[in-house]
Amino acid sequence: MAYRNLLIEDTASIRRITINRADKLNALNRDTIDELHDAFRVAQADDQVRVIVLAGSGDKAFVAGADISELTQMNALQAQAFSRAGQQMMLFVERLGKPVIARIQGFALGGGMELAMSCHLRVASEKAKFGQPEINLGVIPGFGGTQRLLRLAGRGAALEMCLLGQNIDAQRAHALGLITRVVAPEKLDEEINTIANQLAHAAPHALAGILDAVLLGGEISIDQGLEFESQAFGLCFSTADMREGTQAFLERRKPVFQGR
């Protein structure tokens, strides 16, 4: 489909999805959420795409939150449906089976922080700001903020950020485990490209197995998680990529993984 609010760009096997609402600080309205959901479905189904980079246009914001002008028009039932649409989209990103890297150059607030947390890796500029300021609007986070904050940073940090509604800087977010790396603004794209290229050359089945195992492992007992890991480990041995990887190691060369 043609997107009104997104830009799509492919570089080899890396797909870049950019939320293109810089005049609104890339705020998430319902149309943008629906377009993101579709764009990620398309990326998942495309075997040529191995890694996705999610970005926001402009210099000021990754995503500054939900579109407040749209929220003010909603009743309770509409707000619940909006929340569920955002949650479903972000859950789809989290369970995509391909690595998704969030490129965070500015504000990642409210829905923007929630969207970033649904990505597998989060690389931020030193100038980035993070927060769950919904309390200041008289509401609570609606796109998974209470749940992913709890899982990524623990109960104390989740309560602090959601109850106080104050922004934190990139260094504090990194210390809490909310972002993967912090780099100078001028190094942001270089760092993301390095990571994306490394992932693009990794074995796709192994990447998917790691993503699934880590995601599932956070929700089940250690015994169940270990059993899932063993099954996923065994499945890798049915792939041509496993044979290529081990043979390349023995031959002291770089493997060429085909996703088979």
Q: Would you please indicate which residues are annotated as catalytic (active-site) residues?
A: 114, 134
Q: 16 and 55 in contact (C-beta within 8 Å)?
A: yes
Structure tokens at 71: 């929220």
